[in-house]
Structure 1
Amino acid sequence: MSGEKKEIMKIERCKSILLCLKLILLVISFNCQAALTMSPWTDIFKGVQHATGWTDTPRLQRVTAVRIDLQDPDIAFVTTPSNGSEPEDTNRQTGSQFMAGSGVQIAINTQFYESPSGINYADLLGVSVSCGQIVSALENRNDRACTLLITQNNQARFQHTYTSTDLTSVWTAIESFSYILVNGSPWIDYGDPLATNAHPRSAVGISYNQRYLILLTIDGRQTGYSEGATFYEEAIWLIRFGAYNGLNLDGGGSTHMLMSDGHGGSITLNSPSENRAVGSHLGVYAASLIQEFDDVYVYADFENGNEGKFSYSPGYSGSTTGINESLSTADAISTESRAGNWSQRLMIYDDSTVSGGWLVRHVSGGSATRSENVIRPTNGFVGLYAKTTALGKAISIAIDNTNNITADRGVFWPLISDGQWHLYEWNLEDNSHWTGWNNGDGIIDTPDFTIDSIQITGGDSDAEIFIDHIAHSNDISLAYLFSIPGDYEPDGDVDFIDFARFSADWLKTSNFNPISDMHNSENYIIDLFDLSVFAQNWLNGLN
C-alpha cells in the first residue's frame, strides 16, 4: 500500500472518530437539557379546568394548576370567614375541614398568618374579605405586598392596598406577598432569602385578558419527588399556565390545593409536605359538568325543624322596611302544618313609628347569592303554601337570573285571610306573573334561576303567617304535586266534585285517571281498596 493511500485512510479514520465524538456529545447535550412536561387543561367542573406540570431543572418540581373562568355564571368565591368573638381573625383549618364547612368545589391555602393566641387561631397578615365582610382589616404593608380583589360579579384584579383603600365593591380579598409577576415579567427581590430559597409554593394569577384566575401549587421538601421553587421559578410557572400578573401566597408546609369528590368529601390535588391547619383559604363554587334537574325540588318543608335556606329572621335583610325587627321572628314549629308535622311561622310586628305599611324580604341564604342556593331551570311553577287570618297582606317570590345580576319578582298575590292553607304559585313561562324588581324587566328569559326571597307586604298592622312546602316543579302546577289522594281538582279537600270523578273510574282496569288508583298505583284497577282511601279523606282535606 502506498504512503499516499495510508495517509488518506488515516484522514478518513479521523473523520469517523470526530463524527462519533460529535454524536456522543450531541447525545450527552440532549440528555442534559431540561425535561419539561405540561398536561393539557382538563375540565373538572363547569368553568374550572385542571392541569399539571413537571420539570427536573434546576431541580425536581411537580406543579398543579387550576384555571377558573371568571365569565362562567356559576363561579363564586369565598374565603375563610371571621371567627367572630374568638381570638384573632379566623380559626385555623386544614384544607379538608374548610372544604367540608364551606361546600366549595376547589380550595387553596392563601394568606400568611401568625398565631399569638394559640395554635387554633390565626391573625391574618393583611386585609381579608369574605362575602363582602371584612375578616382582617386593611394595613399599610410594603410595596412587595399586594391584594387580590374580586367583586361579586367576578371582576378580579391585583392592587396594592392601604388603610385608606375603598373596599365598597369588594366581595373577596386576599393580601399576600410578594407580588412576583407584573405585566408578564417576573418581579423578584433577589436580596430576600424567602425569594431565592426553594420551598413549596402556592400562588394565584390573572390572565392578560382578565378572564381567567389561575391557582398554582408547587410541591417541595420531598427529595426525589419535588423539591420546591424560588419566586422566579414560581413566576415562570405562572406564565406557562397563562398568567400575566401573579401573587405568591403562603407556602412551605401550608401549600395545598383540593377539589370536591362530589360526594361530600375532598381530593387533594397536589402532594403537601404536611397536613397543616392554616389561617385562610380561597374557595371556589362551581357547578357540575353535567347538570340534571329533578322534575320537582322542595326548597323547604320545615320537617323536624329544618328551615333550609329560610333560617333568617324577617328583619335580617336590609330591604325589609316598616317592621319592628327586634320582635319579628321566623321559626319552624310542629303545631301547625299543611302536610307532615311542621311549618314555619312568621310573626311580623309593625313598627308603630313608621307609617305607610311594611315589606318583608325573607331571604333564601344569608346573602341570597347564586352559590348559596339551588339552581333550577326556568320552566314550570315556583311557589309555596301559606295560611293566615291577617287582613290586607300579600305575598310574592323573587328570583335571580343566571348571572345573579338582575332579579324579577312575582306579582303580589293577596293572602286569603280565612285561616286555611292556600297555594300561591307563579308560572315561570308566563310573563304576566312577573314584574321587574332589582334591575329586572319582568321577563324570565335565562336558562335557570335561584330563589332570592319570599316577600310579604302589609299595612300598619301585625301579622301571623304560616308557610309550608316552598317548591319548584319543572312541569305541572304545585297543586297536583301536593294534593291529597282523591283531590282531583285539586282545591285542598275531597268533596262531591271529586266523588263524581272517582265514580267515573270505578272498576276500570284501563283508561282511568291515575289519581284514582290511590291504594296501589301498580295494580291497575280502581276497587274497594281505592275507595277506602277516598273515604278516609272525604271532606277532610289537609286543612
Structure 2
Amino acid sequence: MPTRITILSLATILSCWHLPSCLAQDDSGVPSNLEQWKLPDGVRYEHKVRQEPRPLHIHVLEMDLSSSNLAFAVIPGDDPDGDGPAEVALEHPRELAKRAGAIAAINTAAWAMLTDPATGKKPGYSIGKAADVSGWVAQSGRLISPPQSGYWSVWLDNSNQLKMGMIASEKELLEKGIQAKWAVSGFRGILKDAKVLVEPSQVRHPRTAVGLSQDSKKFVWIVVDGRQKGYSEGVSEEELANLLLESGCSEGINLDGGGSSSMWILNNTSELTAANRPSDPTGVRPVPVVLGLLQQ
C-alpha cells in the first residue's frame, strides 16, 4: 500500500529550554520565506531561530523509529583506488544522498585528505579527491572504514536496534559479536544516559549531531549553522548536547562540523535542498559519506 505523503509547512519553534546551559530565544530575524518540505509520516522538521546568547539557526529532524515506512542508509563516495590507501572520494552531499534515493541526509564522519601523488601535496576539499575516513563506516555488510579508538559510532544491529557508542577496533567487533547493517562514526560522544559528557567551552562552530531517545524510539539529527556573524554564530559541544536533551535524547554524538555541516531535505518540488546555510566559502563542502533517510 502506498505511504501517504504529508506536506509540512515549516514553523519556527520558539520555546524556553529549562536546561543548565540555557540558550534564551527570541523571534527576531525569523525567515519570512519558510520553505515547504515533503516528508512522510513519522518525520518532523523544526527550524529554531534564537537571538540569545548569540544569533543561532538550528535545524532539527526527528524520526519515529517505530514507523515501518522509514529506513536509513550510509552512503559513501566511490573508492578511487581499489586496494590503495584511499577509502572514498569526496562528493557533494546532495549527490551522495540522491544515489540512494534519500528524502533527507546529513554529513557524518570526519576524514583526512590523502596526498596527491602527482603533486606530492594534499589537495583542498574538492569533489573526487581521495580521503581516509575517521572511524567505523559500513553499509549492507561492506566495511568501508574500520572502527577507530576515540571515534564514537551509531549503528543498526542485526535485530534492527539502533545503538551508539565507541568501538575501538575490528577486534572489538568480533569479541563482542557486534554485527551491523550499517554504521557511521562522528567525533566523541557528548551525551550518555541523559548526562552531558563535555564541559562548557567558548569554542563555537557549525555543528552536526545525532541523538537517540531513552526508549530508542526517536532518532534525532541536528545541524547548527555557525561562522556567520549576525545570522548564526555556532555552538559549543556542551550546548549541542543540551540541544539533544531538549529534543528528548539521552544519547548523542558530535559528528563532523564546521564547513561540512549540512542537512538536506526533499522539498515540495521533489528536489533535495539544503535546509541549513553551510558556512564553507564554496557554499557546500564535498564530504566522504552521508547518512540518508529513506522512505520504504
Calculate the TM-score normalised by the size of structure 1: 0.43
Query: Contact 1:80/1:90 (CA < 8 Å) preserved in 2?
Result: no
Q: Unpaired runs of 5+ in structure 1?
A: 1-32, 287-370, 372-543
How much has 1:262 moved relative to structure 2?
6.3
Residues 1:283 and 2:292 aligned together:
yes
User: Which segments of structure 1 move beyond 6 Å, counting only runs of 4 or more?
Assistant: none
Across the aligned residues of Structure 1 and Structure 2, the Cα RMSD in angstroms comes to 2.4
Residues 1:261 and 2:267 aligned together:
yes
Counterpart in the other structure of 2:121: none
Instruction: Give me the whole-angstrom Cα distance separating, in 2, the residues matched to 1:50 and 1:153.
Output: 27
Residues 1:199 and 2:223 aligned together:
no
Query: Contact 1:82/1:135 (CA < 8 Å) preserved in 2?
Result: no
5 Å matches for 1:414-433? none
How much has 1:43 moved relative to structure 2?
8.3
Counterpart in the other structure of 2:157: 151
Q: Which amino acid aligns with 2:172?
A: T
1:433-462 per-position Cα deviation (integer Å, ceiling 9, x unaligned) = xxxxxxxxxxxxxxxxxxxxxxxxxxxxxx
Counterpart in the other structure of 1:125: 134
How much has 1:65 moved relative to structure 2?
0.3
Counterpart in the other structure of 1:35: 25
The verdict on how the C-alpha distance between 1:121 and 1:105 changes in structure 2, with shifts beyond 3 A counting, is: same
Residues 1:69 and 2:64 aligned together:
yes
SS for the counterpart of 1:236 is helix
How much has 1:92 moved relative to structure 2?
1.1
Counterpart in the other structure of 1:233: 239
1:246-267 per-position Cα deviation (integer Å, ceiling 9, x unaligned) = 1001000000000123655212
Counterpart in the other structure of 2:87: 89
Instruction: Give me the whole-angstrom Cα distance separating, in 2, the residues matched to 1:225 and 1:85.
Output: 38
Counterpart in the other structure of 2:194: 184
| Larger strand share, 1 or 2 | 2
Instruction: Give me the whole-angstrom Cα distance separating, in 2, the residues matched to 1:239 and 1:220.
Output: 20
Query: Contact 2:39/2:266 (CA < 8 Å) preserved in 1?
Result: no
Counterpart in the other structure of 2:258: 252
5 Å matches for 1:99-498? 99-118=97-116, 119=126, 120-139=129-148, 141-142=149-150, 145-151=151-157, 154-163=160-169, 164-166=171-173, 168-189=178-199, 196-261=202-267, 265-274=271-280, 275-286=284-295, 371=296
Query: Contact 2:138/2:145 (CA < 8 Å) preserved in 1?
Result: yes
Q: Which amino acid aligns with 2:112?
A: E
The verdict on how the C-alpha distance between 1:264 and 1:50 changes in structure 2, with shifts beyond 3 A counting, is: closer
SS for the counterpart of 2:186 is strand
Query: Contact 1:182/1:244 (CA < 8 Å) preserved in 2?
Result: yes
Q: Which amino acid aligns with 1:235?
A: A
Between 1:219-228 and 1:111-120, the stretch displaced more is 111-120
Residues 1:46 and 2:36 aligned together:
no
Query: Contact 1:126/1:137 (CA < 8 Å) preserved in 2?
Result: yes
Calculate the TM-score normalised by the size of structure 2: 0.76
Q: Unpaired runs of 5+ in structure 2?
A: 1-22, 31-36, 117-125
Counterpart in the other structure of 1:437: none
SS for the counterpart of 1:222 is coil
Q: Which amino acid aligns with 2:49?
A: W
Instruction: Give me the whole-angstrom Cα distance separating, in 2, the residues matched to 1:255 and 1:85.
Output: 24
The verdict on how the C-alpha distance between 1:85 and 1:92 changes in structure 2, with shifts beyond 3 A counting, is: closer
Max radius of gyration: which structure? Answer: 1
1:131-179 per-position Cα deviation (integer Å, ceiling 9, x unaligned) = 221110122x23xx31111135641111210222226530111122221
Instruction: Give me the whole-angstrom Cα distance separating, in 1, the residues matched to 2:113 and 2:217.
Output: 36
Query: Contact 1:100/1:265 (CA < 8 Å) preserved in 2?
Result: no
| Larger helix share, 1 or 2 | 1
> Sequence identity, in percent?
25
The verdict on how the C-alpha distance between 1:155 and 1:65 changes in structure 2, with shifts beyond 3 A counting, is: same
How much has 1:189 moved relative to structure 2?
4.8
Query: Contact 2:211/2:252 (CA < 8 Å) preserved in 1?
Result: yes
Instruction: Give me the whole-angstrom Cα distance separating, in 1, the residues matched to 2:49 and 2:195.
Output: 21
1 or 2 for the larger relative contact order (CA 8 Å, sep ≥6)?
2
Query: Contact 2:165/2:189 (CA < 8 Å) preserved in 1?
Result: no
Q: How many residues align?
A: 245
How much has 1:98 moved relative to structure 2?
1.3
